[in-house]
Amino acid sequence: MAKIKTEDLVKEAADPIAESMGFELVDVEYLKEGQNWFLRIYIDKDGGVTLEDCQTFSGKINEWLDRTDPIQSSYFLEVSSPGLDRPLKKPSDFERYLDKEIEVTLYTQLDGSKYYKGVNKGIVGENLLLIIDKDKSIEIPYKNVGSAKLYFEF
């Protein structure tokens, strides 16, 4: 089964399971690292997820994975929180994290750069609006956003 189809299939099953448990399904990754395959599922909830939350969700999704066996090769299942630098994948993520500082990487350059950091002002029409500094903002076509995540300075 192709990687993209595997991720989509797992997302389709994991989303209602997460929702029924009070979690948000943030992302699903199915990737090879070295000689091993990993199925990583990221969940979140208001106030953050605990290790117990991850274990409980892991048990539920593992029941589905065992029953349906959608992945032919062996793999390691990992369930975790998206972390402090949480990826923003859906328009609702940008809405949820309005006025937070984010990093955005673009598919193609805009005004000479493929990377921007600024305060998220949400998606307006077809564009993501970022405040770069007090006097400068930029509108990025949403379809040009390759990746976006919360910015956290250590």
Q: What is the pLDDT of residues 48-61, one digit of tens each?
A: 899 999 999 999 99
Dump pLDDT digits (tens) for 97-122.
999 999 999 999 999 999 999 999 99
Side chain identity, residue 100: K
Give start-end residues of each CATH 3.30.300.70 domain in the chain: 3-80
Total-model pTM: 0.79
Give start-end residues of each CATH 2.30.30.100 domain in the chain: 91-150
Provide CATH code, domain 91-150: 2.30.30.100
> Angle at Cα 153 formed by Cα 54 and Cα 34, nearest 5°?
50
Residue 73 DSSP one-character state: S
The domain 3-80 belongs to what CATH superfamily? Answer: RimP-like superfamily, N-terminal (3.30.300.70)
